A and B are shown apart, each in its own frame.
Chain A
């Protein structure tokens, strides 16, 4: 199993551009999450999903959108990128029975200038 994969690894965006961060998991997990981590800080939850077709906001959803059309994929969309969105983005997944154990992807380092 590849686990949780994220693309791209790095990206530089100009202010006002848009992009989609891709996340795929091959563990058949129902739950998926997007976090952001600013330098020297802990992770903050952006959005999460408890299954295909169901998403909900986390702590810091403004400026982002998500969709969950399949169990495997949970893309994160940034519209009108702003410097405040410069961060490292982590995707994670977990199963229902042991949802406390989240499996994280390697992260996407995004810079908005």
Chain B
């Protein structure tokens, strides 16, 4: 699986959009980009995933560049409860035996009042 690079930390103001970047310059054609987050002391939680098109769900939006070498997770209106570590993960496939996820250190998002 391709490796990812994320900044160590960032912060944003409550109510503003939080844009979390991720670089995955060695991503292969069959590899998806996944985002999870981990609120302090809890287990990680799945947020969103994508292959090459931009994706949106009730939690966030995922923007993947045309060359797929980087992506941005967008939380449109950050709240204090969004303070967490966010993991960008690249993995081949969405089903079957390649079900393992490799978690790096992630980016710590701090939402300030």
Contact = CB atoms under 8 A, between A and B. Distances in A.
B interface, size bucket: 20 to 34
Interface string B25-49: 0000000101000000111111001
Interface of A: 4, 31, 33, 35, 40-45, 48, 50, 58-59, 90, 92, 94, 96-107
Given A40-B105, A43-B103, A48-B100, A104 B43 contact: yes
B106 A94 contact: no
Contact of B46 (A4, A42, A50, A100): A100
A98 B43 contact: no
Contact of A100 (B94, B102, B103, B106): B94
A87 B15 CA distance: 35
